[in-house]
C-alpha cells in the first residue's frame, strides 16, 4: 500500500515537472528493501513510467535530442551500473545522501537555472547523466535545466526527457541482470510499481496545464533535502 501510494504520487509529480519521481520513490524503496534491491526495482518501474510519458507526449518528443543524449548515456550507464553492483552498500547510501543535497544547491547556481547547450552538447550531458543514474538512481534534477533551456516545453520536454531517460534504464537493467541483481522479487515489484506509473502519467497529462510548476519544484527540493540528510545520518 505504501509503495503504491508513493508510486502514484511520484509518477504524477514527475509527469508534470519532468522529474522528481525517483526522488520520491527511492527513499521509500530503500526503507522497504535496502539500496541494493531498491535501485534495480526503481530502474524497472521508472522505465515503464518513462515509456508511459513518451506515449502520452509522443507527438512532441524531439528525437534528435534523444539520439545525442543516448550516444553518451548508454556507455557511461554500463560503467556506473558495474560499479554499483560491486560497491559497499554503506558507501552507496552515504554517497547518495551527499548527491541529493548537492542537487538542491546545484539547482540554484547559474548552470542549474538553465545553461544553454547546443544539440551535440547532449552527448556529454548524457555521459555524465548515465553514470550518475546507474550509480545513484537519481539524476532528473541535474538533467532538467539543460532540456528546458534548449527550448523544450510542456509535452515536448516531458516526452523528450522521458525517452532519453528510458535509454539509460534499458542499459542499466541489462547490466544489473548480468550481475544477478534482477530476481523474481525485484521484477515483480518493479512491474507492479511501473503499472501504477501509467496511471500517474495519465493524471499528470490531464493536469499539466492547471498547476504551478513552482509548487512541484519546492516539494521536490524539500524531499531531496530530507532524503539526503536521512541517508547521510543512517547510511
Per-residue pLDDT at 86 exceeds 90: no
Average pLDDT over residues 189-200: 84
Average pLDDT over residues 11-35: 79
> Over the chain, what is the mean pLDDT?
83
pTM of the predicted model as reported, rounded to 2 decimal places: 0.77
Query: pLDDT band at residue 210, thresholds of 50, 70 and 90?
Result: low
Per-residue pLDDT at 18 exceeds 70: no
In the chain, what are the domain boundaries? 2-234
pLDDT for the residue numbered 216: 61
Instruction: Give the integer Cα–Cα distance in Å for 182 and 184.
Output: 7
What is the number of residues in the chain?
Answer: 235
Phi, psi dihedrals of residue 107, rounded to the nearest 5°: -65, -15
Per-residue pLDDT at 218 exceeds 90: no
Cα–Cα distances (Å) from 84 to 88, 163, 203, in that order, read 8, 23, 33
Read off the pLDDT of residues 101-158 as tens digits, 9 standing for 90 and up: 887 787 787 766 666 889 999 999 999 999 988 888 778 777 877 887 888 877 888 8
Report how many helices (DSSP H) and strands (DSSP E) the chain contains, helices first.
10, 0
Cα–Cα distances (Å) from 19 to 122, 126, 132, 138, 159, in that order, read 17, 16, 15, 9, 11
Average pLDDT over residues 64-78: 96
Amino acid at each position: 500500500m505504501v509503495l503504491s501510494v508513493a508510486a502514484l504520487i511520484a509518477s504524477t509529480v514527475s509527469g508534470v515537472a519532468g522529474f522528481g519521481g525517483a526522488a520520491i520513490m527511492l527513499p521509500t524503496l530503500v526503507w522497504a528493501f535496502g539500496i541494493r534491491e531498491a535501485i534495480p526495482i526503481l530502474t524497472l518501474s521508472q522505465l515503464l513510467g518513462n515509456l508511459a510519458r513518451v506515449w502520452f507526449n509522443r507527438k512532441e518528443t524531439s528525437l534528435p535530442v534523444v539520439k545525442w543524449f543516448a550516444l553518451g548515456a548508454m556507455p557511461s550507464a554500463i560503467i556506473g551500473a558495474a560499479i554499483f553492483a560491486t560497491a559497499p552498500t554503506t558507501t552507496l547510501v552515504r554517497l547518495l545522501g551527499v548527491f541529493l543535497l548537492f542537487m538542491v544547491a546545484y539547482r540554484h547556481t547559474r548552470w542549474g537555472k538553465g545553461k544553454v547547450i547546443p544539440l551535440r552538447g547532449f552527448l556529454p550531458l548524457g555521459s555524465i547523466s548515465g553514470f550518475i543514474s546507474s550509480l545513484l538512481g537519481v539524476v532528473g534534477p541535474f538533467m532538467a535545466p539543460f532540456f528546458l533551456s534548449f527550448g523544450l516545453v510542456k509535452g515536448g520536454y516531458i516526452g523528450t526527457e522521458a525517452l532519453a531517460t528510458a535509454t539509460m534504464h534499458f542499459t542499466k537493467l541489462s547490466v544489473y541482470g548480468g550481475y544477478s541483481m534482477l530476481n523474481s522479487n525485484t521484477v515483480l515489484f518493479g512491474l507492479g510499481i511501473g503499472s501504477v506509473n501509467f496511471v500517474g502519467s495519465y493524471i499528470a497529462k490531464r493536469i499539466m496545464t492547471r498547476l504551478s510548476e513552482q509548487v512541484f519544484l519546492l516539494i521536490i527540493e524539500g524531499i531531496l533535502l530530507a532524503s539526503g540528510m536521512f541517508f547521510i545520518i543512517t547510511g
